[in-house]
Structure 1
């Protein structure tokens, strides 16, 4: 046990030093995006505060935990402060690229939704969200992550505006949506983010996504950027075989003989190695940009070894490729789901309670900065610790890293008696005023 404690003590020291370096670099990289130093200090407080141990994370709870007399400083930062959040997002992406120097990334796109109670929130509407498990009133945002063997970091995001929302000038004005922002489909947003990431300097050869992003237009755009891709497709997805005949993916799979299925490991979980059966079928490319070679196209099928459930993937590479390589890229897409869970659980990605464009962009930015600093800190600890640790001690995980940082680095939430009583009074007065306003509004609406 003493040996384990010494190992953990070393990791904790490395984590403390790595956090200080990465967090300092992140705040320094965005410093020039602020006009006033007060806003810059508040931004650093907010970013670190998102990692505090709180039941919920919004301007009220964070301001109380940070020792502020009210939420006004945080609300001002999110809504009105002179702060170029787009430039800040680019600077953080460059920081991530520098930290990942020497590692080639897979660019992964996926969307996530946040439940809302009103369509007054920017982009909120009745739409499908996997996070909600169906159609509901929510905001949906498309995210782009850079995934390496050891690190997964979200480097860009775009709020999806439904067509009716994008065309409603009154709601756009109230929410502060910039005039240059127009309706764009999720695949179009994905293509724009991938293009921007490559222009920023991300080293990548592959793109991965799920069924939402399997359209021919996006696949052609990805190929035009000289990236290979693996995208999930539905069972009814149409492909063309070598003879020029069109098939649905599920019917094309009938050509696979039993001995052609190959069992491959796709990672390790708490219950051991995950393994699936995989099959490959050559198909003709239907998305070749003008002047580009056809490359290698394939339909890859994955079969659950116990239930027999099938999944399908449309894949392309500019050169020859092996099934094991495609499986590795396909599995990279799952990493963004883990990133969403961590960002929502530890940095409040879906808890902002913001309604306007600026507020949403800035809250999501600070949440992703905190998540990126966590990921880069964890990667540094992994690089500097002994790879021959005992099998009885798993590698440091992100939840364990957060616990260490809360104990060693992050400030404890302010909980002294006078401060708690002050916030009790503030909340109750604010809630009383809000109740009065709601009652007056109802009376006005009920008056003939």
Structure 2
């Protein structure tokens, strides 16, 4: 056991140094986006504070943990401070490109939602979100992640504005939505993020997404950008075989003979190696851009995944500008699952879904700070795993949750919890809650009058 403890101690030292280097590089990258250095220092405090061991993450709880006398500095940073958050997002993306060092990247898109109690929150409306397991009042944001063999980080995000919300001038003005932001489908938002990622220097050859991102227009845009894709499709999705006949995906896959299924390893989980049966069939491409010849369509296939025990089938439409093997397509499909891990990491450790913000600037900045914290965590984990000494056979590689525990124990400033500060915040919180309750009661009384 002493050997294992020595190994963990060495990794903790390496992780602390790597975190300090990468966090400093991230703050240096966005330094020019702030008009004042005081605001920049508050942003650094907030990003580090998102990783603190607190029950929930919002301006009140973070300000208390950081030792502030009130949440006003953090609220000012989110809503009114002079800070170019769009430029900051691009600078962080360029930093990630440099850290990747030319590694092959798969761009992965997915969405996540946060339940809300009022449509006054920017972008909040009744819509479907897998995060709330159905249709409800929520905000939905589309995220784009860059995934390599060892690292996965979210590099961009866009808040989806439902059509009725985007057309409501009164709510737009109250939430501070810029005039140039209009209604756009999730597929158009995704295409814009992918194009921007390539412009910023990501060396990507593939795009991956679930059924939401299988639309023909998006796939055509990806081909125009020179990317291959592997997107999920439903059992009823229609494809065309080489003879021109149209089939639903579940019917098309019946053409695969039993011996043509191939069992492949798709990763490792807590219960061991994950393996599925895979097969593919050639299909005609239906998304050839106008500037490309139909006879140069590359590799267009329908890939099926079958659970080795239950026999449950999943389907993926794939296209590559060059000849591709089934193993290559399976690797791209499996990398799509990594964005779910980034969502879990962000919601557990960096407050991705806990902002409690209502306006455009506040949402953009809170999500940016969560993105920065998650990106530095992911890059630090990769740097520690690749540069540290080889671990014993009975120690799994360092994970992001373990890295957070190391940072909280040895690197990050612990939350302020002395008696005087705690009592001050208890009094402050209860007073403001009482004021808010009185204001709500007066508002309800005014609305109840004839």
- Please confirm whether the aligned pair reaches a TM-score higher than 0.5, indicating the same fold: yes
Query: Is the partner of 1:226 in helix, strand or coil?
Result: coil
Deviation for aligned residue 1:104: 1.1
Distance 1:87 1:291 in 2: 32
Deviation for aligned residue 1:9: 1.1
Query: Is the partner of 1:55 in helix, strand or coil?
Result: coil
State the partner residue of 2:381. 378
For residues 59-110 of structure 1, what are the alpha-carbon distances to aligned partners after superposition, in whole Å with 9 as ceiling and x for unaligned? 0000000000000000000000000000000000000000001311100000
Distance 1:254 1:367 in 2: 45
State the partner residue of 1:429. 431
State the partner residue of 2:168. 168
Deviation for aligned residue 1:166: 0.5
Deviation for aligned residue 1:443: 1.1
Deviation for aligned residue 1:319: 1.1
Distance 2:187 2:134 in 1: 20
1:305 is the counterpart of 2:328: no
State the partner residue of 1:145. 145
Deviation for aligned residue 1:291: 3.1
Query: Is the partner of 1:229 in helix, strand or coil?
Result: strand
State the partner residue of 1:92. 92
Deviation for aligned residue 1:290: 2.0
Distance 2:107 2:69 in 1: 42
- Structure 2 residue ranges without an equivalent (≥5): none
Deviation for aligned residue 1:256: 0.8
1:283 is the counterpart of 2:256: no
- Structure 1 residue ranges without an equivalent (≥5): none
Aligned residues: 447
Distance 1:26 1:322 in 2: 38
State the partner residue of 1:230. 230
Structural mapping, 1:13-92, within 5 Å: 13-92=13-92
| Residue in structure 2 matching 1:358, options 356, 361, 368 | 361
1:347 is the counterpart of 2:350: yes
1:338 is the counterpart of 2:338: no
State the partner residue of 1:120. 120
Deviation for aligned residue 1:160: 0.3
Query: Is the partner of 1:141 in helix, strand or coil?
Result: strand
State the partner residue of 1:418. 420
1:401 is the counterpart of 2:411: no
Query: Is the partner of 2:337 in helix, strand or coil?
Result: helix
Deviation for aligned residue 1:305: 0.7
Query: Is the partner of 2:386 in helix, strand or coil?
Result: helix
State the partner residue of 1:213. 213
Deviation for aligned residue 1:381: 0.2
TM-score by length of 1: 0.99
Runs of 4+ residues over 4 Å off in structure 1: none
For residues 317-338 of structure 1, what are the alpha-carbon distances to aligned partners after superposition, in whole Å with 9 as ceiling and x for unaligned? 0111000100000000000000
For residues 134-170 of structure 1, what are the alpha-carbon distances to aligned partners after superposition, in whole Å with 9 as ceiling and x for unaligned? 1111100000000001100000000000000001111
Deviation for aligned residue 1:214: 0.2
State the partner residue of 1:440. 442
For residues 338-394 of structure 1, what are the alpha-carbon distances to aligned partners after superposition, in whole Å with 9 as ceiling and x for unaligned? 00000000000000000000000000000010000100111110111233x222111
State the partner residue of 1:199. 199
Deviation for aligned residue 1:442: 1.1
Q: Structure 1 stretch 171-180 or stretch 2-11: which is displaced more?
A: 2-11
Deviation for aligned residue 1:447: 1.4
Query: Is the partner of 1:131 in helix, strand or coil?
Result: helix
Query: Is the partner of 1:300 in helix, strand or coil?
Result: strand
Distance 2:233 2:376 in 1: 33
Distance 1:27 1:318 in 2: 38
Deviation for aligned residue 1:236: 1.1
Distance 2:61 2:193 in 1: 32
Structural mapping, 1:231-310, within 5 Å: 231-292=231-292, 293-310=296-313
State the partner residue of 2:155. 155
Query: Is the partner of 1:135 in helix, strand or coil?
Result: strand
Distance 2:102 2:213 in 1: 28
